[in-house]
Each structure stands twice: as structure tokens, then as C-alpha cells.
Amino acid sequence: MPVPVSSSFLWGAATSPHQVEGNNTASDLWAIENMAGSPLPERSGDACDSYHRWREDLDILRDLGLNAYRFGIEWARVEPAPGHVSRAALDHYRRMIEGCLERGVTPVVTLHHFTSPAWFRHGGGWTGPDAIRQFTGYVRAVRPILDGVPWVCTINEPNMLAMVAARLHSGAPNLVAGALPPPDQRVAEALIAAHHAARGELDAVASGWTIANQTFQAVPGAQEHAEQWAWAREDQFIDAARDDDFIGVQAYTRVVIGPDGPVPADPAARRTQIGWEFYPGALEAAVRHTASRISVPILVTENGIATADDDERREYTHQALAGLGRAVADGLDVRGYLHWSLLDNYEWGSWAHTFGLVAVDRQTFRRTVKPSARWYGELARAGVLPGAC
């Protein structure tokens, strides 16, 4: 059954600075991408040149009929050297916020989306002696430009950050391929402390953080094991948001857990470009799981599919939104849905995985709206989550 949503429901799309802006040269990941023998197969380079083309991106989003844009502020641009805040970078991001408001688009702003300044990493990263003070210093510098922003996400996917940190500490040669280890618990706790401290700096601005929901499902008999997996990798981060103004839910696929850990999907299972199982039910499961642990408003801050087949994007999104509609019909407090991603962008080491509603020519940066984007925009204009297809 189609489910109408309130007129304040956010229908939008998301990006992150490093993945779309281009030339994020003071960041830690830029250094990794460009070092000799980099573990990342491709560089971000000019990315989508959204640092200069953001007005065009916003016009596209508004013309589709969407009313919200999630984008990020890049710490490495705002504070390229410790304690040295770039007024020009802050002005840039303030212009983006005002550009949203002028177009009737609600800005949803992320303060940290995976990348940090290179100097922060050199100083020990999240477990360095000054990490919390350094992060809150950055948040304090940004706070004055956030007036009028109703949704601020402090840190994106802290659970993924803590898992990637564990992988780096293990000396693994590759950042991205293969199953991730459990989070580095010191990093997890530092991120939770940083999030709470950042919220303290944001005072009247409504804030939360965004969690990678992995939809852990137990095979019969492995329930307790799956709960342990979920606690370390997801639930401790959800629980840390119990006093927040909202929580961001991000879901793409599921992980089935047996007594010995993850059970690989059937070799015949349908997969996305990234190799993840095609599982649009992840969104409904993630929203219900989050609501079962804490009682704060939910904003879907990411959901989407890496595919070269735009019909498949529409199919996946339709099924995911139908599941979201079931959760809303059951009374869950869901305030909006932000599709990942507005643009085909830099997927952390690769340009081959295309999540975008809009294609971007790698030479000219020309944007081309895909049919799935127009279909999604029509749903937004109608204000109705679709029934199952």
C-alpha cells in the first residue's frame, strides 16, 4: 500500500565532500591516495568538481522536486594546519547553506565524513592525545556558519571508521577489500566521546550522528552470536545516540551471521557492482532495529545501490522505500529519506561503482540526470512512499 507522508518529510539526496568536491589536498586520504604504492586503486583527483559546481548540483536537485540536500563540510579545508582556520573555506560552506535555503532545499550538514586533515592523522588520529580537543576546536570554528541548518550530523559512520582503524592497525595491505575486523574499541570510545563533545559545542543546533546499519541476521541457533557481532559493530554506536536530537540510519545490504561469523551469500545471489548482496529490505530492517534500541527521530541519511543499470537502481529504491513505508505506517518516527547518492562519485578508491541519480562525465564534469532520478523526484512531489512492486 502506498503511504502518504507529512509535508515536512525530507526527500533528498546525499554526498560527502571528499567524494565530490575534488582536490581535497590537505586531507589524510589524499595523502594515502597519492603515496607510492597506494592501497587505493584510483585517486579522487578533481572528483566531480562540486567545490565549484555546487550551484548546478543544487539546481538539479531542486528541479527534480527534492527538498533536502545532505552534504559535508571538510575539516581539512576549514583547518588545513592545526589551529589555522580558513575564513574563505567557512565562507564557501556558508554560501552553500544559503544556496540551499534560497532554493527551498533543507540543508543536512555532516561535519566529518571519513576524512580528517593529514595533520590530525599524523598526531595519532582519534586516539591521539589531543583528538577530542582538536575535533571540538574545529566544530567550534564551524558553529557560526550553521545558523538555519536544522540537521547537523557530527560524524558519519563512526562504526565503519572504527573498523577501518582496526584494519589499518593490523597492517592489512588493502583498505577496502574483504571483510572488516571488529572495531578498534579505543577508537570506538574516542569517537563516542568526540561526538558527545561536539554536540556540546553545537548547543541550540539539532544534531546527531549517522550509523552504518549492517542488518545482521542470525542463522537458526546463532542468535546470541549475532547479537554480540551487532553490539560491537553497530549497537554501541546507536545506543550512544540515545540523548541526541535524531539519528541517521544508513543501510545498503545485510550480513548473515552463523556460529563462525558471517555466512557468505549464496553464490547465485544477485549482487551489486560492489559485490554486496542485492537486498533492499535492509532499509526497513535497519529502521526497525534502530527504533527498537533508542527513541529518537530517525532520518534515513543514506540508502542506494551501486549499479550501471539505472532500471535496477529504480527497482532497488522502490523496494527500499516500500519497506520504509511499512515502518512509517506502523508509526515509526521517520523524518525523511536521503538517497545515496546525488552524483556518481569517488567510491573510496574507485570510480567504477556508480551510486548516482545523476551521472558525471569524468572529463567535462557534465551532469546527466538519470531516469531513476526523475522517477524518485515524482514520488517526492507526490509525497507518497510507494507500495511494494
Active site residues: 157
Residues that bind ligand BGC (CB under 6 A): 16, 19, 156-157, 160, 212, 250, 302, 340, 347
For ligand BGC, the closer of residues 3 and 340 by Cβ is 340
For ligand BGC, the closer of residues 27 and 250 by Cβ is 250
Q: Which of 211, 202, 224, 375 is nearest to 287 (CA)?
A: 211
Helices (H), the chain: 17-20, 28-34, 50-64, 75-78, 87-102, 118-122, 131-142, 158-169, 185-202, 223-230, 236-239, 282-293, 310-329, 371-382
The amino acid at 201: E
For ligand BGC, the closer of residues 250 and 307 by Cβ is 250
| Helices 87-102 and 50-64, axial angle in degrees (round to 10) | 10
Q: Which three cell numbers stand for residue 59?
A: 539546481
Give Cβ neighbours of residue 363 (< 8 Å, ≥ 6 apart). Answer: none
Q: How far is the CB of 87 from ligand BGC (least distance, A)?
A: 28
User: Within 13 A of 333's CA, how many CA atoms are on the CB side?
Assistant: 11
The amino acid at 129: P
DSSP-assigned states of every residue in 67-118: -EEEEE--HHHH-SBTTB--HHHHHHHHHHHHHHHHTT-EEEEEEESS--BH
Q: How far is the CB of 32 from ligand BGC (least distance, A)?
A: 16
Q: How far is the CB of 388 from ligand BGC (least distance, A)?
A: 25
Q: How far is the CB of 360 from ligand BGC (least distance, A)?
A: 14
Q: How far is the CB of 304 from ligand BGC (least distance, A)?
A: 7
For ligand BGC, the closer of residues 3 and 283 by Cβ is 283
Q: How far is the CB of 212 from ligand BGC (least distance, A)?
A: 5
Residue position matching grid coordinates 545471489: 269
The amino acid at 172: A
